[in-house]
Amino acid sequence: MKRYPLLFLFFLGLCVFGIVACNSYSPFYHVRWVDDGDTIVLDNGIRVRYLGINAPEIAHDGHPGEPFGREALRYNIKLVKGKKVRLETDLEKYDRYGRLLAYVFLKNGTFVNLEMVQAGYAYVLFLNPNLRYASSLLNAQRKAMLARRHIWQVLLKDTCPRYLGNKKSHKFHRPDCPYAQNISPLNLVIFKTKWDAFFQGFSPCRSCRP
């Protein structure tokens, strides 16, 4: 009977060692393919969606591409294709399409998500509760906006006299957007320009496309 406490401590030690080992070791994966400016495919077939950012779409399935979509794809290819990357996940692991949501790092320490924003090929897309690098990404976006790098040559053109933002979703909308009509007064913020909305880390609604 006296052996049980010792056995318990032994197995507890193994568990703690295992947790520490897992948290201190992050494997690197080989990037086989690059879909676009914010999505890659690993050698094991896992499709990874860059977390915290959104790059312009390329033409696909009969839909036209967005400005700088091809350029964002080429820049992402230059950054990661054929290279080894380390992945960090946040509180949510997958999106609705089954893609792994991750912050991606090269062996030399380059934070790929941030690099795409800093180069002006993506904007921040904050999705609660996945906000680990929100501050760093927003700072990179502000610098890219001030320099008018790439996507910021076209995204800042105003299409409405004002925009309605939702503090909870970090999205901004046209005033007549159905999603805007449902914003709680506690979460409502009004922006006079797109610049103001983007500078505060809000991203455009994919439905009304302000």
Out of 71, 86, 92, 99, the active site residue is 99
Residue 174 is a catalytic residue? no
- Report strand pairing: 28-34 vs 84-88: antiparallel
- Rounded to whole angstroms, the Cα distance separating 116 from 64 reads 21
Residue 57 is a catalytic residue? yes
- What DSSP string runs through 69-112? HHHHHHHHHHHHTTSEEEEE--S--B-TTSPEEEEEEETT--BH
Please give the structure tokens belonging to residue 18. Answer: 């295992």
- Rounded to whole angstroms, the Cα distance separating 171 from 169 reads 5
Please give the structure tokens belonging to residue 204. Answer: 């455009």
Please give the structure tokens belonging to residue 73. Answer: 């794809």
Out of 32, 47, 57, 142, the active site residue is 57
| Residue among 148, 90, 91 nearest 119 (CA) | 148
Judge contact between 157 and 126, C-beta under 8 A: no
Cβ neighbour number for residue 142 with a 10 Å cutoff: 16
Out of 49, 71, 115, 174, the active site residue is 49
Residue 49 is a catalytic residue? yes
* Integer angstrom CA distances of residue 86 from 74, 79, 165: 20, 13, 34
- Rounded to whole angstroms, the Cα distance separating 201 from 139 reads 9
Which residues form the catalytic set?
49, 57, 99
